[in-house]
Amino acid sequence: MKTKNKTLGAWLALAGGQLGLHRLYLYGVGDMLAWLHPMAAALGWWGVERVRMYGQDDQLAWVLIPLLGFTLAGTALTAIYYGLMAPEKWNATHNPGAAPDGAPGRTNWLTMGAIVFALLFGTIALMSSIVFSFQRYFEYQVEEARKISQ
């Protein structure tokens, strides 16, 4: 069995999380969650394209764009989780034959870099998704109130 490196797992979750690369690396091609990541991301990117084509009034895009943001935030959170996982736990989970405190599970500067970038990127993605969702919801409420008042 090939050893799985914690630093590589964290960077794959951050950089390729939308495509499920981190899950493919850790669990192989038989992992169903790895195949759900690209589908959710593709739906989100389709929402972005719908806004470009139909404008901000497209209600389907209201649902799809936050899906992209929450997917990005979730994969950033996964990168943080992988990066902060104790070496003993990492090796017990992903490298059962390795020494408990062996090299594949150790935290180094590259791992810390993945954590820092995941914090930055994940916060931006999550807050943007929340703001977009609330903005569109309140704009919808104002439009409905105008219809009632007329």
Q: For residue 135, name the pLDDT band (cuts at 50, 70, 90).
A: confident
Neighbour-count burial for 136-149, b at 16+ CB within 10 Å, e otherwise: beeeeeeeeeeeee
User: Which one is predicted more confidently, 48 or 102?
Assistant: 48
pLDDT at 43: 95
pLDDT at 103: 75
User: Which one is predicted more confidently, 104 or 128?
Assistant: 128
pLDDT digit string (tens) for 11-59?
999 999 999 999 999 999 999 999 999 999 999 999 999 999 998 888 8
pLDDT at 1: 62
pLDDT digit string (tens) for 56-101?
888 898 889 889 999 999 999 999 999 999 998 998 899 887 776 6
pLDDT at 106: 83
pLDDT at 110: 94
pLDDT at 124: 94
